[in-house]
Chain A
Amino acid sequence: MHSCQECSRRWQTTYPGCPYCGSTAVAPCTALGEGRVYSWVEIFRSFDVPPSPVPYSVVCVELTEGGRVFGRFLPGGEPQIGSMVQRVEHPEDLIVFTPVEGERQH
């Protein structure tokens, strides 16, 4: 992740200036990998080349410290918007989120 020293906003992709305030005082930072589901999709037809196995779900997660990332949703299906998720380890370092225990899904 990246953060702005002036306005404290955070984001994933590299920019030479803060997308929120334009300051050049930007620096890399880390995140715990925990956040809430902002939105999601369940994909039934893959547009990947070669096609990926379907169905699978992708979530847009608003991280607790700020900033959003996309990740695969484990175990798939329909996540609940607003529910807490946490990042889980993946052998190829893929971003994968799974529901935090104790959080209701429906």
Chain B
Amino acid sequence: MTRSPDKTAVAGVGYTPLTYESGVEVLDLATHAVRAALEDAGLSPHDCDGIATFAMNDSVPAQAVATSLGMDEINFLLDLNLGGQAPAHLLLLVDAAIRAGLAHTVVVFRALNGRSGTRVGRARATDNVPESAAARYRVGLTAYPQYIAMWTRRFMFETGATEEDLGAVVCAQRRYAELNDRAILRKPITLEEYFASPMVVSPFRVADCTREVDGACAVILTSAERARSFRREPVLVHGGAFASGPRPGREIGDVLLWDDYSVNSMHYLGERLWANTGMSPRDVDVAELYDCFSSAVLFALEGLGFVGRGEAGAFVRSGETVLGGSLPVNTHGGLLAEGYVHGMNTIAEAVLQLRGDAGARTVQDAEVALATSGTLMDGSAVLLTRDG
């Protein structure tokens, strides 16, 4: 499958501050982030004709933000009811819509009071509880950290991965967060301190878990041609893919039918991602890998083919993912340390890197960046490139 020659590009990036208590409603956060992205691009709301977002019953619909912005032309509007698997998928959908001529300049955002309000990490159905959810709630399996910990346990059993490997991911990313003014968690951590972090659900310690935050993150997507006439250097959407393994279950937390807990959506995504884009892992200069939990990085490195089965731990422990290593990973500190804007900030960091705009964290001469989304049954990924 070859892509059309007309690419889209990210023309603007914006964030709110990431805090534990925003003190404002989600609509404020969303509007603020979108405005910041527009300002970054040198645009006003009147230059946009589309708006898209994703949420899990914890945000505001796209139409509310369109209204707050005073958008007068709304030719495209999309609210995805999906979680961490969504951001890259959403960007690719908006990319396709722009290339199909459905809209010309679309705002993509994620906004949530994820710490002071509804917390994704402990989200559970309360109304119309599906049978699958009711069964696991009864035995005390009620939250994402627990499901992903169970997959991680099997991964450790099958691949020989250890808690040291998880700790290596945490420590490597905290080094980037130290250099990131926006990160919620900037304190460096040693492996010893990692092991002293309290257990939440084995094998996960507090340090293995993302920091839920109040905040929002937005990007502006438009045609590459249009983007070239705006303020910032365009970052091109080269391509990507979405994948779900078979039997994703009855609802987003239903992991019971999944055959092999030692692989996740990344395992299903890799082949098509590289085939769709004509690239290989070797081409990637910087990888922003969705990391709601530390193990997600190990699953992604192996699933996408950056390393062989069972080799991700050694790869991280040997320093390959820090600045100067062969594959810088989660250069913002990741969702683990920058904060959980549900993977929208994973994409945004990839954009900043390709602009050379990541301050002391900048990976020199980065031409190709990968951003992934999701860590359970389904997921997505997008490859971004510098323009020209």
Chain A residues within CB distance 8 Å of chain B: 11-15, 19-20, 38-49, 52, 56, 58, 60, 68-72, 78, 81, 94-95
- Structural contact, B139 and A58, CB atoms closer than 8 A: yes
- B257 in the interface (beta carbon within 8 A): yes
B82 in the interface, Cβ–Cβ < 8 Å? no
**Do A47 and B257 have beta carbons less than 8 Å apart?**
no
Distance of B172 from chain A, by nearest CB (Å)? 25
Given the contacts A19-B247, A58-B140, A95-B138, A11 and B150 also touching, CB distance less than 8 Å: no
Known contacts being A58-B146, A70-B141, is A41 close to B136, with CB within 8 Å?
Answer: no
- Which 10 A-B residue pairs are closest in the complex by CB-CB distance? A47-B143, A39-B154, A42-B202, A47-B122, A44-B199, A13-B132, A19-B247, A41-B149, A45-B200, A41-B150
Please name all residues of chain A whose beta carbon is closer than 8 Å to the beta carbon of B146 when the two chains form the complex. 41, 43, 47, 58
Known interface pairs A38-B261, A60-B150. Does A52 touch B140 (Cβ–Cβ under 8 Å)?
Answer: yes
> Contact between A46 and B131 (Cβ–Cβ < 8 Å)?
no
Cross-chain contact of B140 among A39, A43, A60 (Cβ < 8 A): A43
Whether the Cβ atoms of A58 and B154 lie closer than 8 Å is: no
Chain B interface residue number, banded: 35 or more
Closest to A43 in B: B201
CA distance A20 to B202 in the complex (A): 31
Q: Establish whether residues B151 and A39, one from each chain, have CB atoms under 8 Å apart when the complex forms.
A: yes
- CB interface residues, B 130-148, toward A, < 8 Å: 131-132, 135-143, 145-146
B199 engages A70 (CB within 8 Å): no
Contacts of B135 in A (CB 8 A): 12-13, 69-70
Contacts A42-B199, A45-B198, A56-B140 given; 12 further ones with Cβ under 8 A? A11-B257, A13-B132, A19-B257, A39-B150, A41-B153, A44-B199, A45-B200, A47-B145, A48-B140, A58-B140, A94-B138, A95-B139
Shortest C-beta distance, A70 to chain B (Å), equals 5
> Can you sample 28 A-B contacts with CB below 8 Å?
A11-B256, A12-B256, A13-B135, A13-B254, A13-B256, A19-B246, A20-B247, A38-B261, A39-B150, A40-B153, A41-B150, A41-B153, A41-B202, A43-B140, A44-B202, A45-B200, A46-B140, A47-B143, A48-B137, A48-B140, A52-B140, A68-B256, A69-B135, A70-B135, A70-B139, A72-B140, A94-B138, A95-B139
B residues 86-119 in Cβ contact with A at 8 Å: none
User: How far apart are the CA atoms of A15 and B249 in the complex, in Å?
Assistant: 10
- The residue of chain B having its C-beta at the shortest distance from the C-beta of A15 within the complex is B250
Residues of B within 8 A of A41 (CB): 141, 146, 149-150, 153, 201-202
Query: Which one of B131, B141, B247, B249 lies within 8 Å of A14 (CB-CB)?
Result: B131
| Contact status of A69 and B256, CB under 8 A, knowing A45-B200, A47-B146 | yes
* In the bound complex, CA of A72 to CA of B138 (Å): 9
Is B195 an interface residue, CB under 8 A from the partner? no
Residues of A within 8 A of B254 (CB): 13
How many A-B pairs fall under 8 Å by CB? 94
Q: Write the residues of chain B forming the contact surface with A, with a CB cutoff of 8 angstroms.
A: 121-122, 124, 131-132, 135-143, 145-146, 149-151, 153-154, 157, 198-202, 246-247, 249-250, 254, 256-257, 261
Residues on A with beta carbons closer than 8 Å to the beta carbon of B199: 42, 44-45
B147's closest neighbor in chain A, by CB?
Answer: A41
Chain B neighbourhood of A49, CB < 8 A? 124
B199 to nearest A CB, angstroms? 4
In the docked arrangement, what's the CA distance between A71 and B135, Å? 9
B141, B142, B143 — which one has the most chain A CB atoms within 10 A of its CB? B141
- Evaluate contact between B200 and A44: CB separation under 8 angstroms: yes
Residues of the B chain whose Cβ atoms lie less than 8 Å from the Cβ of A39 = 150-151, 153-154, 157, 261
In the assembled complex, the CB of A86 is this many whole angstroms from the nearest CB of chain B, namely 16
Residue of A13, A40, A47, A70 near B250 (CB, 8 A) is A13
- Measured CB to CB, the closest approach of chain B to A37, in angstroms, equals 10
Asked if B154 and A81 make an inter-chain contact with CB atoms under 8 angstroms apart, the answer reads: yes
A28 to chain B, nearest CB (A): 13
B202 lies within 8 A of A78 (CB): yes
Residue contact B201 to A45, C-beta cutoff 8 Å: yes
- Name the residue of chain B whose CB is nearest to the CB of A14: B131
Complex contact A42–B201 (CB within 8 A):
yes
A32 and B247 alpha carbons, distance in the complex (Å): 24
In the bound complex, what is the Cα–Cα distance between A70 and B149 (angstroms)?
Answer: 14
- Closest-by-CB residue of A relative to B200 is A45
* Shortest Cβ distance from B132 into A: residue: A13
Q: Which residues of A contact B198 (CB under 8 A)?
A: 44-45
